[in-house]
Amino acid sequence: MIKLSRPILGWIFYDFANSAFATTVLAVIFSVFYAEYVAGGQEGIIVAFPWGNLTIPGASMWSFIVAASTALVAISSPLLGAMADYARLRKRMLVIFCYLGVTATIALSVVGEGDVLLGAIIFMIANYGFAAGNVFYNAFLLDVSKRETFGKVSGIAWGLGYLGGGLCLVLNLIMLQKPQLLGFPEGSFDVGDCVIVAGIWWGIFALPTILWLKDKPRSIQKLELVELTISGWKRLVNTFREIRRYKQLIRFLFAYLLINDGVETVIIMASIFGAEAVGMSVGELVGFFILVQATALVGSLFFGWLADLITNRAALLISTVGWIAVVVWAYCIGWLFDPKTDFNILGMLAGIVMGGSQTTARSMQAAFTPSGHSAEFFGFWSVSGRFASIFGTLIFGIAIIIMGGIQPGILILGLFFIAGGIILWFVDEKEGIQVAIEGSVTD
């Protein structure tokens, strides 16, 4: 039985807070708005190169800016994590990146038709705040939970996150389609208002995290930025030297990179797939993602319990098989019922395995992480996850251009799940946990 103390509640509430960005901006409303309206939809934009002009579809353009923003996180997160662990600054850095993301999310409201570059820059800042903040947020799992309950606590947090993201989407749907329920006349709200609400939601519901989550006391005096950076680099270099002892962690990170390639790309591109391949309206897509969030909540709680029962590795393998089924079904969309009905059923399955894979992956990373190095090791985990976003969205964007549409390119994602599952099969979870407990990295 898990006692929901204030630190645990503060930790899980951050998922509830920042999931508004994940759903409204990354997954559903702004992503479709940028790809279809700002960047020209299937007609795309024309980019001049020395060898000639190239037409880039809106869906590809969106995938490219997501890849670029996550590359920045992948490059910087291990150093940020090392600095935060060394100076006990995890909470402070979480707050900084949280409100950087909140501010940039609200600023997305100024983006309009044709603002391809402006929208890309503001989004990249917002996504950097979102992803970098998660490095430090995830690292606190080792502080608020014991190893034997990592799965359950991680599952509750993901579940609350899906609830938060879903509720924010419900509010967005009412704003766009039924503003009368809020006391406003029809047509009062647009996409810009929705991203403002997402930013405010994120900022307000992060307050319990700021108030209740406690960092470890500092063991060193206050450092200047240059000195702190040098210390962070030294600690990072030492980790690179010692990390070869963590063979199972390295295998897991490679498996997670490939699996998360597929997961992140599906999340980021699903609404655009629904708009272009299935013909769903914005209102239908919001309803679809509310359904996904609801089933993801169930999936995260179930797989969190399952991970503690049968091991994280086994639970993650089961969810990976589920993802392969999702990809094949998406390619054959409409084979069972009409495309929209198929897509909604598929969304329920995707929600369950999404909750499962995200819950068990974070729990497994925590189990493989030695105490005292949580932000640093979760920085490496973030690198694996961020490179997944880079390669997955980049490859998918190129596939759309080469294959002439978003639906044919979907099978590319199946290869990531298959390869990641094969590597995960050879991970020895017991050995990885034992090495972490022994604390092979010098403190």
Which residue did the predictor score with more confidence, 188 or 219?
Answer: 188
- Domain limits, the chain: 11-438
Q: Tens digits of per-residue pLDDT, 417-437?
A: 999 999 999 999 999 888 888
- Looking at residue 52, what is its pLDDT? 67
Which region among 34-38, 133-137, 149-153, 268-272 has the lowest average model confidence (pLDDT)?
Answer: 149-153
- Looking at residue 402, what is its pLDDT? 77
Which residue did the predictor score with more confidence, 217 or 392?
Answer: 392
DSSP state for residue 25 in the 8-state scheme: I
Q: Does the pLDDT at position 79 exceed 90?
A: no
CATH code for residues 11-438 = 1.20.1250.20
Average per-residue pLDDT for the chain: 83
Q: Tens digits of per-residue pLDDT, 227-276?
A: 656 665 666 666 666 666 788 988 988 898 888 878 878 887 788 888 88
Average pLDDT over residues 20-43: 88
- Buried/exposed code over 59-84 (b: 16+ C-beta within 10 A; e: otherwise): bbbbbbbbbbbbbbbbebbbbbbbbb
Beta-sheet pairing, 45-49 with 52-56: antiparallel
For the whole model, what pTM was predicted?
0.76
The three-class DSSP label of residue 235 is helix
| 63: CB partners within 8 A, 6+ apart | 265, 268, 269, 393, 394, 396, 397, 400
Which residue did the predictor score with more confidence, 151 or 388?
Answer: 151
Extract the tokens encoding 90: 């995890």
Q: Tens digits of per-residue pLDDT, 268-303?
A: 778 888 888 888 887 888 888 888 888 988 998 899
User: How far are the Cα atoms of 256, 259, 318, 319, 327 from residue 419, in angstroms, in the given order?
Assistant: 10, 8, 14, 14, 14
Q: What is the rounded CA–CA span in Å between residue 257 and residue 365?
A: 12
Average pLDDT over residues 75-88: 67
| 386: CB partners within 8 A, 6+ apart | 70, 71, 73, 74, 77, 131
- Looking at residue 423, what is its pLDDT? 95
Could you tell me the pLDDT band of residue 40, with boundaries at 50, 70 and 90? confident
Which residue did the predictor score with more confidence, 304 or 154?
Answer: 304
